[in-house]
Amino acid sequence: MPTRTDTADRVALVTGGSGGIGKAVVQRLAREGYAVGVHYAGNKATAEALAEEITAAGGKALAVGGDVADETAMAAAFDAVESAFGGLDAVVHTAGVMKLKPIAELDLDELDAMHRTNIRGTFVVNQQAARRLRPGGALVNFSTSVMGLQFPGYGAYVASKGAVEALTLVLARELRGRDVTVNAIAPGPTATPLFLDGKDQETVDRLAAQSPLERLGTPEDIAELAAFLAGPAGHWVNGQTIRDNGGIV
C-alpha cells in the first residue's frame, strides 16, 4: 500500500486533547485537514466543546473518553475514531501527570499513580497504535527536557519519562516494514496548567530566563513539532526523542 501523503485525508487521535499541549495539537492538526479524535480522561465537556468548535469551522472531530491505562477503554476510543473516520494515520500521546517532590519525601501511592498513567498508559496507547496505524502513519509520544536538566524534585516524573523514551526507541524498531514512525517530543518549560501548577512567579520567571530565547515555550510551539512528526513531511524522522525547549539543553 502506498504511503499516504495528503494531510487532508489523514486521521489522528490525540490523547489528552482537551487541554494544554494536547488542545494545541488538536487545533493544529485540524487546521491541516486531519479528522481528529479528541481524547479526554476527565474533561468531557471541554473535549466535546473543542470537537464542536472544529466541526463548526468545517473540520471533522470527535470527542472520545477513557483512562489511558485501561486497555479496554482505550481500545474502545480507538475503535470509535476508526469507525467515525475510516482508519488511523497518527496518534499523538500527550496525556500524562506530574507529581513533584524530593525522592526521599514522595509518597509511594503518588509514585504508583503517576507511573500508572505515564508508563502503563503510554504502553497501552502505544500498543493500540502499533496494531492500528496505517502505512505512512506516525506515533508521537511525550517525554520531558528535565531528563537533561535534572531539576531536584522531578525524580519520579523523570523516571516515568525515561521509560517513555526507551519504549519509543524499541517500538520504532519493532515496526520495521510497516512504514510507521515512532518518535517522542521532550518539551522544556512550557506555559501549561500542568507546568505552572504550584509554581510562584519568581520560579516561573527564573525558568523562562534559562532559554536563550528568554521565554517559556507555548503549547503552540510544541504543537508545531507534533504536527511535523505526525505528518508526511516528518516521515524520515524515526526512533528519536527531540528536545523542544528553546535551547535550554
**Spacing of C-alpha 112 from chain mean position:** 20
Enumerate the β-bridge partners of residue 217: 190
> Which of 155, 3, 13, 153 shows the shortest CA–CA distance to 75?
13
Give the separation between CA 220 and CA 215, rounded to whole angstroms: 14
For 90-104, b where at least 16 C-beta lie within 10 A, e where not — what string?
A: bbbbbbbbbbbbeee
**Catalytically active residues, by annotation:** 157
Q: Dig out the grid coordinates for 247 from the structure.
A: 535551547
- Specify whether the CB–CB gap between 153 and 102 falls below 8 A: yes
**Three-class SS string for 30-92?**
HHCCCEEEEEECCCHHHHHHHHHHHHHCCCEEEEEECCCCCHHHHHHHHHHHHHHHCCCCEEE
